[in-house]
Amino acid sequence: MVTVIVRHKVKNYAKWREAFDGFRKERRVGGEKSFKLGNIAGKKNNIVGIMRFDSTANAKSFFSSRLLKAKMTEAGVLEKPDIWIVEDR
């Protein structure tokens, strides 16, 4: 298992969350096991996701997919996300 931490700004949280929730099946197929969402304190459109994936390879593949990039654009992501893949020890 690996933990993936993602941070990015979005145009509108409600629109982004709808797209995120609608992408659940694709996230699961990509190896996601769980997630938790939050935002930078005082900045509701600056999203932080903490996700657990079944493997480093699956996490890398999922976050580099064209389908995800298209969905992020559609959801109103305003910038390239910061992504950290953290391997368990």
Domain that holds residue 77: 2-87
19-66 per-position pLDDT tens digit: 999 999 999 999 999 999 999 999 999 999 999 999 999 999 999 999
Position 63 scores a pLDDT of 97
Exposed/middle/buried for residue 80 (C-beta within 10 Å: 0-12, 13-18, 19+): exposed
Position 51 scores a pLDDT of 98
Domain count, the chain: 1
- Yes or no: say if 9 and 47 are a contact pair by the CB < 8 Å rule: yes
9-19 per-position pLDDT tens digit: 999 999 999 99
Position 43 scores a pLDDT of 97
Q: Mean per-residue pLDDT for 71-82?
A: 96
Look up the CATH number of the domain holding residue 56: 3.30.70.100
Side-chain-side CA neighbours of residue 24 (13 Å): 7
Q: Cα(40)–Cα(1) distance, rounded to whole angstroms?
A: 25
- Yes or no: say if 10 and 16 are a contact pair by the CB < 8 Å rule: yes
